[in-house]
Amino acid sequence: MRGIPRATARSMAGAPEWRTGGNRHLACRPAGPTRFICISIQINLAPDAFSVHPYRLQDPSMKAVVMRLFLCEKPSQAKDIAAVLGATRRGDGCWIGPNATVTWCIGHLLETAPPDAYDARYKRWVLDDLPIVPDKWKMLVKPRTASQFKAVKRLLGETRELVIATDADREGEMIARELVEHCRYRGPIQRLWLSALDDASIRKALASLKPGADTFSLYHSALGRSRADWLIGMNMSRLFTLLGRQSGYQGVLPVGRVQTPTLRLVVDRDRSIADFVPVPYWAIDVKLLHEGQAFIAQWRAPADACDDQDRCLNQPLAQQAAEALRNAASARVVKLRTERIREAAPLPFDLGTLQEICSKKLGLGAQETLDIAQSLYETHKVITYPRSDCGYLPISQHGEAAGIIAALGKADPALSELLRHLDPQRRSRAWNDARVSAHHGIIPTAAARGIERLTGKPRAVYTLIRARYLAQFLPNHEYDRTQADFECAGQALRAVGKQIVEPGWKRAMPEALAPAKGREAPAPQNLPALFQGCDCAVNEVILKDLWTQPPKPFTEGDLIKAMKNVARLVEDPLLKQKLKDTTGIGTEATRAGIIQGLLDRGYLIKQGKALCATPAAFSLIDAVPRAIADPGTTAIWEQALDMVQSGEMSLEEFVAKQAAWMSKQVTRCVGLRLTISGPASPAGGAAPWKKKRKTGTRKAASGTASKSKRPARSKKKA
């Protein structure tokens, strides 16, 4: 280097060196038996612009000191945080600044060791080796990201203080903490808890770092989930694959703690559709006129002729009623009631609800919705953290509402009419500190200028999120519901009308004002000015010949909802009593991946929006014991993981209970003889079932029919 004395330059040749901040340090020449003369070179942009500062170092093996290290989950996140911290110089796997260094993971840099890492004999799958339960759990460095692991390990060895800046959830906590443990970092830890990645949100979070101890329980909860998944997956997959081979089934039968109960939800739904036997019923619509305005009233059949959903099952009775009504001249109002209905705005989205609505309105898959939301958060920075399980907002966030609304209006002039109706001071039920979990609802950020780059599906998803937020600043939706009961030729009729009084929050979501769709959805109508005792002319009588409908196949959005609210699907009354209504299987962050994994493995296929189980799925669910595939059992374990997070149960206790339960299942199942039909799931992971054409009817699984059993009959109309 130019400008350095020759003697110094010679002493630098081959010298050990390291870097901190903008300095390059080199141990140059001996200064006694244990001392080295070292040089610190200040590196600037110009090649000759540096200064040389000699100092003494007691021990040449001493490492450079990083004053504060920020550990992020991914490179893009690290770049955003580094920019705010002024860490703009690129180092080896990090960004370097005057007061902080920012490094990153690439998801998990470590993975739980496979069975053969504990004992080489586990490379062969043998029934007598089961169950496999590690005494001391091992983590291995992922080969694909080994270079970044080395960089993080080096920086952890050099830092005086660590700030965990991974995603603010259980998985993010585990990504960081497993490295802390593996690399034996023992220094102080703080936690950066981010809800958004725009500059203002990062600065706000930096000003209120949490003590590391506040979020440590999240790590144990995530670690418990990981170990439970390992115990079930490694042992049960080996067990049922080996049992299958004894029955001549050459392939892998993968069993997962969450994926298998999820698959059973779809299999059970498909079977209920296939086994469904339609039942005929009859309804009568009567078109009435009053003061020139037409409206529809429905016939009210006697209770003893109806099922539990008030559908008339007696055809002769319906035909007689239709004939009597057709011969009548008028219907008289015998009872009239009007009530004002007030509906509060729906909460901002949590991830599961966003996936459900995007599936229904936009036709998006669960993983596709998550990927889009993640890009809106990370790349465009126009929404807050998307993997939230909560739709509520902290009261402290309400103070930012006026600024966010102003930014949204500036970014999108099309909102100008809506903004005139908004009151930024209005505080809806969404602002509730007592209901906020680790994350608040998904809302837009003030960095709304980035929306001009959004098109297509990302723009549509963003618009849904924005509308839910803006709805919080509008009044309740109010309407008058009028119910009129009529007597006509000895028959009872009822008409229901709806008159909107205040659109309220539905101004932000025009689609919410649209009529409900579906053949059984009653059409909304405005009734004329009726009064008790008034007569309405009978204009037309329509006898409708209908069939009960089978359950609908799951869409991805429906399946996400079912996974979240699995307690409602549990039949065992004791188990149902134990489950909280909000307990689900999987997490907001993992459910989409579970569904996608079942699709990739060929256990589910998509027919339009519908998810359908394949023959291999039926075989697998029929093979495994009910306890393993029962969503209720899995939900109980999810509750236990929540107890680990809250400190009510230790990690060790949870893993021990999971291992004991799994070992009991192995003992019970080891002598089973499986009867498996359908194509095998190859060890290589290829789909065991593929549609050969893009269109066409799905082949029915063994023992099922592809269509519900609807008997043929002629339709009769009046």
For residue 517, the model assigns a pLDDT of: 54
**Coil/strand/helix, residue 1:** coil
For residue 64, the model assigns a pLDDT of: 59
Beta pairing partners, 189: 162
* Same-domain pairing of 73 and 146: yes
* Same-domain pairing of 103 and 201: yes
* Same-domain pairing of 561 and 527: no
45 within some domain: yes
482 within some domain: yes
Q: Please say which residue of 57, 84, 100 terminates a domain.
A: 57
Element (H, E) at 651: helix 651-669
714 within some domain: no
386 within some domain: yes
Of the candidates 385, 359, 369, 376, which has an alpha carbon nearest to the alpha carbon of residue 593? Answer: 369
**CATH number of residue 368's parent domain:** 1.10.290.10
For residue 573, the model assigns a pLDDT of: 75
Cα 609 to Cα 355, 553, 592, 616, distances in angstroms: 13, 9, 15, 21
* Same-domain pairing of 541 and 555: no
Reported as a single tens digit per residue, the pLDDT across 587-620 is 888 999 999 999 998 899 999 999 999 998 998 8
For 23, phi then psi, to 5°, come to: -110, 145
Catalytic center residues: 385
For residue 580, the model assigns a pLDDT of: 67
* Same-domain pairing of 174 and 321: no
Q: Please say which residue of 532, 547, 562 terminates a domain.
A: 547
Nearest-angstrom CA–CA distance, 425 and 66: 45
Give the residue ranges of the chain where pLDDT is below 70.
1-65, 512-523, 574, 577-578, 580-583, 676-718
* Same-domain pairing of 609 and 492: no
* Same-domain pairing of 391 and 521: no
Q: Which domain holds residue 126?
A: 69-208
Q: Identify the residue whose tokens are 């188990």.
A: 575
For residue 112, the model assigns a pLDDT of: 97
Q: Please say which residue of 434, 458, 473 terminates a domain.
A: 473
Reported as a single tens digit per residue, the pLDDT across 397-407 is 999 999 999 99
| Structural domains in the chain (count) | 5
Three-class secondary structure assignment of 169-218: CHHHHHHHHHHHHHCCCCCCEEECCCCCCCHHHHHHHHCCCEEHHHHHHH
515 within some domain: yes
For residue 672, the model assigns a pLDDT of: 83
Nearest-angstrom CA–CA distance, 433 and 430: 9
For residue 339, the model assigns a pLDDT of: 97
Tokens of 37: 């003369």
Beta strands at 535-547 and 491-502: parallel, antiparallel or unpaired: unpaired
Nearest-angstrom CA–CA distance, 258 and 262: 6
190 within some domain: yes
542 within some domain: yes
* Same-domain pairing of 619 and 566: yes
* Same-domain pairing of 53 and 91: no
* Same-domain pairing of 77 and 204: yes
710 within some domain: no
* Same-domain pairing of 510 and 582: no
Length of the chain, in residues: 718
